[in-house]
């Protein structure tokens, strides 16, 4: 009897539970330190191994580049500019193309997704064409856009927009289809007009789908801009990669990739911040996942 | 058309209905068939005859899958009958009527709106200016006991609190007809009893006609003026019982009244067969 009641008391007594919480905090901190140290270790091993194997001649730095060479290339670009002009200008051009293409693609993707998601008839009529358009690798449009829109930024914006459009479109479409029928019925009973049904129920509900697609679609906007520049351009990171490639400058290709990665990660942070702002109402599951 | 005559008798025999002439809700021979995805015709309800007087509280009980929700769908205008007629306030239902309130079985509060905006949704949709709608909403939030929770989002509330938001969201529109589809079935027993009492209080100060769908006979008897038993699908009216328990009622205590138990026995006799049929059917389906 005594034993039983003691056992029952254990989790409730204050000092005990406080110790537990301190322990968990400590364990969590230890884990975080471990995770971060391992991350750094992987980077050091990877870059160190790369530098070492290329230095002693196991791997030919002419084909595969060398970390120190990549670094020198980056320093040269920053201090002396690139063959096409200052580095920041190349980044700005590519980023501008990607952002404009992204905005256009998202805008039309959401509109078409919501319209087709709400109109079953139209969706049924158009579905074979949409499937066909989705099946074609859309980067193949790049030469076409360069022919039609020229070497300027329009052709890159068009390619980025098309790539983004399909991703956002399919997500918005699915999001609209998945709207809870109870919520729709409730809104109609409460007096919602067709327009308000769209703006106050369907779009907010589809928002988590749409926002999920924005993460991946910005990377695609960058792909569109870079590939477009690669095919034909007068400025931009894609052109730098193309130029480095044709002059057998492996370090230049890698250096441009590093810059692209930094750009992509920065925008990823911005998109995440936007997402957190727009769907504050959602139970916070993201906070519990260590990324 | 002939088969409507006995129904008329049934209607006029119910207490306050005959004296008032027009019913708030009137279903005559209402039938609803659906086309299943495999192309078969599924009859959800068949030849339902039912009338609800102004200010009357009618509970509809029946086994699962007896088309109780379909009946509410017809009254609300969310669905149209395949046959027969459905009238609200003496006029055939055409689209969604603004005088109707509907509390759904599942959570139907908007997860992206906080409590205040959820409750203000109806007035906003009906064209009230924002400031006025919000003030109105604050008042209703207080009435359902959620003051201080205006800024919370539904996922931060308990199931019972979410139901209160749903009640406020519906009552704020002052519905003359209130449709409730097993609104408390997802709640635990204690919370449910409390919510039932609150519902009776809100209703008594409001005098709306209520159709309350439930599979719980106890709940039906404790709340309603009349209990309508529906057969297992396709649903049709099997019997209508007048509940002559005095009001105001305390839901938690009324269950021990001898008259309550007597009524329970009487209605259960009717309901039991339907529950058994429905159960056997479900078992057979599972076996195939």
Q: Where are the domains of chain A?
A: 2-59, 66-288
B250 neighbors B222 (Cβ within 8 angstroms): no
Q: How confident is the model at residue B134 (pLDDT cuts 50, 70, 90)?
A: very high
B112 touches chain A (CB under 8 A): yes
Query: What is the Cα–Cα distance from A249 to A247, expressed in whole angstroms?
Result: 5
Q: What is the per-residue pLDDT across A152-176, written as a single tens digit (0 to 9) for each? A: 889 999 999 999 999 999 999 989 9
Please tell me the predicted confidence (pLDDT) of residue A20.
67
Residue B47 burial (CB count, 10 A): 19
Quickly state the pLDDT bin for B107 (edges 50, 70, 90).
Answer: confident
Mean pLDDT, to the nearest integer, of B139-168?
90
Contact criterion met (CB < 8 Å) for A189 and B106: no
Interface size between A and B, measured as CB pairs under 8 A:
62
Q: Which of B104, B114, B154 sits opposite A186 (nearest CB)?
A: B104
Kind plus residue range of the DSSP H or E element containing B257 = none
Question: What DSSP character marks residue B185?
Answer: T
| CATH class, range A66-288 | mainly alpha
Structure tokens at B225: 């003026």
> Parallel, antiparallel, or unpaired: how do β-strands B177-181 and B100-103 relate?
parallel
**How far, in whole angstroms, is CA B90 from its chain's centroid?**
19
Q: Which of A20-24, A45-49, A135-139 is least confident?
A: A20-24
Contact between B115 and B167 (Cβ < 8 Å): no
pLDDT score at A282: 74
- Cβ of A190 within 8 Å of Cβ of B107? The answer is no
CB B186 within 8 A of CB B241: no
Enumerate domains of chain B plus CATH numbers: 48-99+175-282 (3.40.50.300), 108-174 (no CATH)
The chain B residue lying nearest A184, using CA atoms, is: B108
- The pLDDT value given to residue A276: 81
Chain A's closest residue to B122, CA to CA, is A190
Q: Do A188 and B78 touch (CB under 8 A)?
A: yes
Tell me if the pTM is above 0.80.
Answer: no
Among A246-260, B3-17, B49-63, B134-148, name the one with the lowest average pLDDT. B3-17
Residues of chain B with Cβ-Cβ distance to A283 below 8 Å are 155
Contact flag A281-B113 (C-beta cutoff 8 Å): yes
Question: Cα dist. A231→A220, A225, A260, B137 in Å?
Answer: 16, 10, 17, 59
Q: For residue A286, what pLDDT is reported?
A: 44
Inform me whether the pLDDT recorded for B124 exceeds 90: yes
Chain A residue whose CA is closest to B179: A189
Interchain pair B153, A281: CB under 8 A: yes
Judge: B111–A190 Cβ closer than 8 Å, yes or no.
no
pLDDT, mean of residues A60-86: 89
Tell me whether residues B155 and A282 touch, CB distance under 8 A.
Answer: yes
Contact list in B for residue A178 (CB cut-off 8 A) is none
- pLDDT above 80 (res B21): no
């Amino acid at each position: 009897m005594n034993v039983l009641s003691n056992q029952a008391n254990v989790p409730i007594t204050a000092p005990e539970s406080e110790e537990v919480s301190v322990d968990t905090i400590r364990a969590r901190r230890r884990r975080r330190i471990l995770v971060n140290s391992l991350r750094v270790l992987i980077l050091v091993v990877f870059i160190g191994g790369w530098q070492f194997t290329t230095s002693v001649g196991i791997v030919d730095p002419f084909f595969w580049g060398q970390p120190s060479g990549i670094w020198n290339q980056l320093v040269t670009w920053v201090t002396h500019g690139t063959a096409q002009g200052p580095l920041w200008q190349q980044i700005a051009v590519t980023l501008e193309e990607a952002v404009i293409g992204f905005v256009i693609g998202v805008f039309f993707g959401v509109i078409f997704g919501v319209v087709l998601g709400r109109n079953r008839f139209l969706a049924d009529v158009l579905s074979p064409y949409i499937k066909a358009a989705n099946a074609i690798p859309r980067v193949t449009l790049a030469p076409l856009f360069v022919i039609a829109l020229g070497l300027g930024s329009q052709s890159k914006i068009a390619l980025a927009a098309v790539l983004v459009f399909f991703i956002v479109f399919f997500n918005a479409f699915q999001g609209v289809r998945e709207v809870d029928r109870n919520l729709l019925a409730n809104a109609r009973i409460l007096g919602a007009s067709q327009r308000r049904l769209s703006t106050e129920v369907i779009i907010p509900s589809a928002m988590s789908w749409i926002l999920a697609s924005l993460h991946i679609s910005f990377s695609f906007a960058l792909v569109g801009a870079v590939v477009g520049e690669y095919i034909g351009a007068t400025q931009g990171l894609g052109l730098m990669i193309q130029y480095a490639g044709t002059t057998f400058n492996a370090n230049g290709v890698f250096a441009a990739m590093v810059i692209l990665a930094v750009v992509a990660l920065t925008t990823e942070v911005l998109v995440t911040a936007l997402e957190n702002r727009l769907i504050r109402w959602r139970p916070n599951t993201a906070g519990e996942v260590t990324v | 058309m002939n088969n409507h005559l006995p129904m008329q008798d049934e209607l006029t025999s119910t207490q306050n209905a005959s004296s008032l002439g027009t019913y708030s809700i009137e279903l005559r021979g209402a039938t609803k068939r659906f086309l299943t995805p495999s192309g078969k015709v599924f009859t959800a309800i068949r030849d339902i005859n039912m009338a609800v007087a102004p200010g009357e509280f009618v509970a509809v009980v029946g086994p699962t899958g007896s088309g109780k929700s379909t009946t509410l769908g017809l009254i609300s205008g969310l669905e149209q009958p395949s046959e027969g007629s459905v009238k609200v306030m003496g006029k055939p239902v055409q689209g969604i009527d603004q005088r109707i309130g509907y509390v759904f079985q599942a959570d139907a509060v908007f997860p992206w709106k906080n409590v205040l905006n959820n409750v203000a949704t109806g007035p906003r949709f009906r064209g009230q200016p924002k400031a006025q709608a919000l003030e109105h909403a604050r008042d209703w939030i207080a009435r359902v006991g959620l003051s201080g929770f205006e800024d919370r989002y539904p996922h931060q509330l308990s199931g019972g609190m979410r139901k209160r938001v749903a009640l406020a969201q519906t009552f704020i529109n002052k519905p003359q007809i209130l449709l409730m589809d097993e609104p408390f079935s997802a709640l635990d027993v204690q919370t449910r009893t409390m919510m039932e009492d609150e519902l009776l209080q809100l209703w008594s100060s409001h005098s709306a006609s209520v159709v309350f769908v439930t599979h719980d006979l106890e709940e039906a008897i404790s709340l309603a003026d009349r209990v309508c038993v529906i057969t297992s699908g396709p649903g049709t009216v099997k019997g209508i019982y007048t509940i002559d328990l005095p009001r105001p009622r305390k839901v938690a205590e009324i269950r021990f009244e001898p008259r309550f138990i007597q009524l329970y026995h009487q209605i259960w006799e009717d309901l039991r067969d339907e529950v058994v049929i429905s159960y056997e059917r479900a078992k057979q389906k599972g076996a195939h």
